[in-house]
Amino acid sequence: MKTATLAVVWVAVALGLGAGLALAQRAGHGTTPAPAAGAKPPAPITMEELHRAGGVPRGWKFTLPPGDPKTGRELFAKLECNKCHEVKPDFPKAGGAGDVGPELTGMGAHHPAEYFAQSIVDPNAVILAGPGFVGPDGRSIMPDYRDSLTFAELVDLVAYIKSLGGGEHDHHHHEANAPQEQTAGPYRVRVEYKEPGAGGHGHGPATANAKATGHLMVFVADATSGEPVPYLPVTAVIRGEESASRTVRLSPMIGASGFHYGADVTLPDDTTKVTLTLGAASLKTMGAAAARFRKPVTLSFDWE
């Protein structure tokens, strides 16, 4: 697997076999990757169930395993990515950096890991509009690295990009604003927070004297099917180092980010933890779902 190029691995991913093939080849030719701390193995699924779902589990999505940001930084330098992409403070602007390609400072919080991976191996999948980013033929000027990197190198390079925090002008909550996701009980829960003035989160009429507030968004999906779960009572307890704890009731909402449970609330600067409680479903549930969504679930997200 160490010598396999991304051309082979990415074709397998496109066929829906990437995760299993990559791990199977690793297990057969060396040590098996250590699982993340606290990670639980997925529940076994029968071949019949796979066939009924079209060859992959329901709600299946290919995700990258965790990589090593330190090794990824070394690869970033080795590949001379800094000649096109500025990263403060690691790779300051020099020799055209930041002019040829977009600056990557703080970019890790703006996109999921899979977006960066695809940009590296297939830069024409999503073409970013901007000065110098597109050639005369309408295609991205970024090189295609699918034949230049092993899968392990891709994972490490993406881990470095995802680790990039904010620059000197970024708010100190930059990392906390990055989406956080957990699976608890029958739910997969993602939390996002838009700071005051970030735009795109208001749900009420604006007034000239209205004070800008932040917006807390909680996306709840069925961990099995991946479908959004509506009609849940959702509350959030916001805790800080010095400020008093605050309990907020979140309401079902639809906005630019899709269906979510939200509340217009500004998190204090000293926020350390956001604890969510998902109550029993308030609509009628049928069959096996009736038992799955009957019990309340509580989960906590650390905030920095």
Lowest mean pLDDT across 17-26, 135-144, 151-160, 195-204: 17-26
This prediction's pTM: 0.47
CA distance 82 to 260: 38
* Domain 174-302, second-level architecture: Sandwich (2.60)
More confident residue, 61 or 203: 61
Q: CATH number of the domain at 6-163, please?
A: 1.10.760.10
CA distance 102 to 19: 30
Query: In CATH terms, are 6-163 and 174-302 the same topology?
Result: no
1 in Cβ contact with 29 (< 8 Å)? yes
pLDDT above 70 for 224: yes
pLDDT digits (tens, 9 = 90+) for 172-223: 443 445 568 888 888 889 999 988 865 544 444 444 445 678 899 999 988 8
pLDDT above 50 for 134: yes
Q: Where are the chain's structural domains? A: 6-163, 174-302
| The pLDDT value given to residue 94 | 64
| The pLDDT value given to residue 233 | 94
| The pLDDT value given to residue 271 | 87
